[in-house]
């Protein structure tokens, strides 16, 4: 084999005085970085394969290991950076598209970090969330134009029929991740956590494993272009349906689960032949227009007797505002928008890093457009695509979202270290893998507990922020951009976000 030009990205430092050659690192690494030599009784490391996931460092009982970025530098060049050079080496060796996992890692401006929140001082009182009720409950679904009541013997009665709603105890749901892209234990961790926390997780387009039907009341089931595992029992087992048109990490393109990952269990869940590529085409074959989208939305409503809301998920792209308007007019009850930095189990690097717009801009544009057209009430708006903290949640809602989807944050709670190698199927944390030796590392009970802890912590923080602003219901914060100010943004950006600069 010809010499590869690719040099190790990481250096593994092993403190010989601490290493007891217990071989935990050897067993923990699916990338075969560590090996034990029986002759000299020593463990050594081959750093070229290291993904930088820290599993060995975390598992080492004597803290003998450390993983650092390799200090090996090319001659500095502002244009020809090490990653660009290395990518060309990889492509010259393989002839293939570069593949990656998780969300965009490029330094585009993160607008969350350029928006600050308001707080009450003197002229209006702040609220102490420790002693006063704070309402985070959120209903997702189409709301009526107006409410009509009539007087009866028992008092006022609501005459207006209100369509099906999702009831969320906190305005945070787990975003779509399929069984196939993540392990069964990861799916079950999300499902259990959603049930305990009073929110929802999302099947992605991998179908619903029979053992997860019991979490149906806390499940959003996707219908995507591959139609994997989509049948009447699946549609009727869950709380809401979501037509997946696009994903922030890879707008406009399809995807596929490689045949070697389509095991017997995944083949049954997706209802496809074992060992074939599970191809999700770029478009839905039955959607070429807003009218066609309407047809699929109502096919799903017919199939489920109009009993559950239907969401349409799209990637945030240039003309997202009119697109969202069309989706609402097509009859969607929820519009989910996934931004540029949204995650993925596998996407071509060039797509992930170059296509789509930041979610902050998309939410602001869509909320404004729907208000201008007088149809904002007809659908709820869910923001996705890198919500990293409770302050991102609050800012998203103040910009106009009803709720947010989190996925990367949830996986980080489960142990993900953002090594961005999900597509290899060798996740040492038992998340993005189907290898039983790796998946058993993730215990769904512990996973669910960690996720519930995260949601509890964020909801406490959200209440603190709301209290500070003098707001005691998340409803009062929604689309309330007066609570936001921009720092370090130019006027065009401020206008796009619909917020004032700090100081104004």
The residues that touch another protein, with contacts defined as CB under 8 A, are 90-91, 93-99, 226-227, 230-233, 235, 256, 258-259, 267-268, 270-277, 279, 281, 285-286, 295, 298-299, 302-305, 348, 423-424
Structure tokens at 43: 């463990």
For the bound state, the minimum distance from the C-beta of residue 419 to another protein, rounded and expressed in Å, comes to: 14
| Closer residue to another protein, CB minimum distance, 279 or 290 | 279
Rounded to a whole number of angstroms, the minimum distance from the CB of residue 359 to another protein is 27
Distance (Å, rounded) from C-alpha 56 to C-alpha 227? 39
| 445 contacts: CB under 8 Å, gap ≥ 6 | 192
Would you say 192 or 284 has its CB closer to another protein? 284
CB of 238 to another protein, least distance (A): 14
Q: How far apart are CA 262 and CA 326, in angstroms?
A: 36
Residue 219 CB, shortest distance to another protein, in Å, is 18
Rounded CA separation 307/265 (Å): 30
Helix 290-303 × helix 320-329 angle, to 10°: 40
Q: Which is nearer to another protein, 230 or 366 (CB)?
A: 230
The CA–CA distances, whole Å, from 106 to 66, 139, 304, 341, 354 equal: 26, 35, 42, 9, 9
**Tokens for 331?**
């009859």
* 230/412 with CB nearer another protein: 230
Q: Which CB, 241 or 383, lies closer to another protein?
A: 241
Of 108 and 288, the one with the shorter C-beta distance to another protein is 288
Tokens 């057209």 map to which residue? 373
First to last CA, the chain: 64
42 or 97: CB nearest another protein: 97
**Between 47 and 280, CB nearer to another protein:** 280
Nearest to 356 by CA among 336, 338, 370: 338
Judge whether 430 and 440 are in contact, CB under 8 Å.
yes
272 or 462, CB closer to another protein?
272
Adjacent-strand bridge partners of 138: 168
Q: Could you tell me which residues are beta bridge partners of residue 242? A: 222, 311
C-alpha count within 13 angstroms, C-beta hemisphere, residue 472? 10
Least separation in angstroms between residue 253's CB and another protein is: 12
In the complex with another protein, the residue whose CB is nearer, 202 or 304, is 304
DSSP 255: E
At closest approach, how far in Å is the CB of 428 from another protein?
A: 17
Q: What minimum distance in Å lies between the beta carbon of 272 and another protein?
A: 5
Question: Are the C-beta atoms of residues 335 and 359 closer than 8 Å to each other?
Answer: no
Alpha carbon of 180 to those of 174, 215, 267, 351, 428: distances in Å? 16, 18, 10, 21, 16
Cα separations in angstroms, 25 against 20, 29, 56, 57, 417: 11, 6, 5, 8, 16
Least CB distance to another protein at residue 383 (A): 29
Q: Are 86 and 2 contacting, i.e. CB atoms less than 8 angstroms apart?
A: no
Minimum CB separation of residue 416 from another protein in Å reads 19
CB of 264 vs another protein, minimal distance in Å:
9
């Amino acid at each position: 084999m010809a010499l590869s030009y690719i040099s190790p990205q990481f250096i593994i430092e092993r403190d010989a005085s601490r290493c007891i050659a217990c071989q935990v690192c050897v067993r923990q690494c699916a990338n075969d970085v560590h090996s034990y030599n029986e002759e000299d009784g020593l463990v050594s490391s081959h750093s070229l394969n290291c993904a930088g996931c820290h599993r060995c460092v975390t598992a080492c009982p004597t803290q003998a290991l450390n993983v650092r970025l390799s200090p090996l530098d090319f001659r500095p060049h502002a244009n020809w950076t090490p990653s660009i050079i290395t990518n060309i080496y990889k492509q010259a060796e393989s002839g293939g598209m570069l593949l990656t996992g998780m969300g965009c890692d490029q330094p585009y401006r993160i607008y969350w970090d350029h928006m600050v929140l308001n707080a009450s001082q003197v002229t209006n009182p702040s609220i102490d969330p420790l002693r006063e009720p704070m309402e985070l409950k959120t209903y997702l679904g189409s709301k009526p134009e107006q409410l009509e009541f009539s007087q009866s013997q028992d008092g006022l009665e609501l005459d207006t029929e209100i369509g099906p709603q999702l009831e969320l105890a906190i305005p945070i749901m787990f975003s779509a991740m399929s069984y196939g892209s993540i392990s069964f234990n990861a799916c079950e961790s999300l499902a259990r956590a959603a049930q305990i926390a009073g929110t929802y997780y999302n099947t992605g387009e991998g179908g619903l494993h029979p053992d997860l039907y019991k979490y149906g009341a806390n499940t959003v089931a996707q219908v995507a272009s591959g139609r994997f595992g989509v049948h009447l029992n699946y549609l009727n087992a869950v709380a809401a349906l979501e037509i997946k048109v696009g994903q922030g990490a890879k707008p406009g393109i399809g995807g596929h689960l490689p045949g070697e990952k389509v095991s017997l269990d995944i083949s049954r869940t997706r209802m496809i032949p074992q060992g074939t590529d599970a191809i999700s085409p770029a478009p839905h074959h039955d959607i070429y227009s807003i009218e066609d989208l309407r047809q699929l939305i109502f096919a799903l409503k017919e199939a489920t007797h109009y009993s559950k809301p239907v969401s349409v998920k799209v990637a945030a792209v240039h003309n997202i505002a009119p697109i969202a308007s069309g989706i609402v007019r097509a009859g969607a009850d929820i519009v989910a928008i996934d931004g540029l930095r949204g995650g993925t189990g596998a996407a071509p690097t060039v797509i992930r890093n170059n296509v789509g717009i930041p979610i902050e801009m998309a939410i602001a544009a869509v909320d404004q457009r729907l208000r201008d057209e007088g149809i904002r009430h007809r659908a709820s708006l869910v923001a996705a695509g890198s919500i990293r903290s409770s302050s991102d949640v609050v800012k998203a809602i103040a910009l106009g979202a009803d709720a947010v989807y989190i996925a990367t944050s949830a996986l980080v709670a489960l142990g993900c270290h953002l090594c961005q190698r999900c597509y290899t199927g060798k996740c040492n944390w038992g998340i993005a893998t189907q290898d039983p030796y790796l998946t058993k590392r993730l215990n769904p009970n512990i996973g669910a507990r960690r996720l519930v802890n995260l949601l509890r912590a964020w909801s406490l923080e959200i209440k603190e922020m709301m209290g500070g602003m003098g707001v005691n219901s998340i409803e009062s914060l929604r689309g309330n951009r007066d609570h936001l100010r921009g720092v370090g943004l130019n006027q065009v950006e401020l206008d796009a976000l619909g917020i004032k600069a700090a100081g104004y």
